Amino acid sequence: MSDQAFRAIGATTFLSPLPAVLVSCRGTEPGFDRDNMITIGWTGVINSDPPMVYVSIRKERHSHAQVSQSGVFCINLTDETLCRATDYCGVKSGRDVDKFAELGLHAFEVEGFGAPALAEAPLFLCCRVERVIELGSHDMFMAKVEQVYVRDSLFREDGSLKMADFELVCYAHGEYFALKDRPMGFFGYSLANEDVIRRRLVEPYEKKKDKKEKKEKKAKSDKPGKKEQHKDKKEKKAKPGKKKHAFRMRMQDAPVKPRTNA
């Protein structure tokens, strides 16, 4: 018998960490047809081939009606810059506010798909509902992933993804955490030799750390005075929606056009 001590805390949904994602959607009926985002923790992968995921949404959510009407939604992964927006979309309803406009965020329109994506997300999955299961508190929307788009700048030259640069956010028992800086391992690393470990887990991140430190030093020395900061803010406010967003598709080609949401 082990001398470890545990305390039973009851049957709860204490599965952690969970991805904190923004699910973007748009209904088809009047009163529901404004682009919306809901923060979702109850989400996951349920099949590889075909690629399938689920999101569980309470019936009373505005987005529940929207996804039910359109049969499609996008799952946008969230990074550190989107953490506050993620919380906001989890406490405000699209019934009452235009969350895109309130947050200064932009919808990204995938041609031929009936749900907006979040232009500021590092990655999003376009999902089509296959089945809805009523479970009690939540309805589980099981959906096929039709396409995945990844921000262009997150690819290396060889086409692989710079996962550490995604700076993803997750949710654990009521709090948001950042997946910081570097991976602790990679698939199969428990069996890898020292050379491979060094090449995959140490060298790339030493370079990254050097770069980051140099950038921070430069930013400190270039820091504008208060007057310039005020001017910068004013200029940014005056040109909403001017930011360019580039995504690269993960599976097959499909036409995409960016769209701003006023």
Ligand X SMILES: Cc1cc2nc3c(=O)[nH]c(=O)nc-3n(C[C@H](O)[C@H](O)[C@H](O)COP(=O)(O)O)c2cc1C
Binding status of residue 57 toward ligand X by CB under 6 A: yes
Binding status of residue 40 toward ligand X by CB under 6 A: yes
Interacting residues with ligand X between 123 and 152 (CB under 6 A): 138
Binding status of residue 21 toward ligand X by CB under 6 A: no
36-40: list long-range contacts, CB under 8 Å, 24+ apart.
36/62, 36/63, 36/66, 36/94, 36/99, 36/100, 37/63, 37/76, 37/89, 37/94, 37/99, 37/100, 37/105, 37/118, 38/62, 38/63, 38/89, 38/90, 38/94, 39/86, 39/87, 39/89, 39/90, 40/75
Binding status of residue 61 toward ligand X by CB under 6 A: yes
Binding status of residue 106 toward ligand X by CB under 6 A: no
Q: Binding residue for ligand X (CB under 6 A) from 22, 26, 35, 62?
A: 62
Q: Binding residue for ligand X (CB under 6 A) from 22, 34, 39, 76?
A: 39
Spell 184-204 as b/e; 16+ CB within 10 A means b.
Answer: eeeeeeeebeeeeeeeebeee
Least Å distance, CB 113 to ligand X, is 19
Which residue number places its CB atom closest to ligand X?
A: 90
Least Å distance, CB 219 to ligand X, is 31
Q: Binding residue for ligand X (CB under 6 A) from 17, 19, 51, 56?
A: 56
End-to-end, the C-alpha distance of the chain in Å comes to 63
Site for ligand X, rule CB under 6 A: 20, 36, 38-42, 56-58, 61-63, 87, 90-95, 138, 171
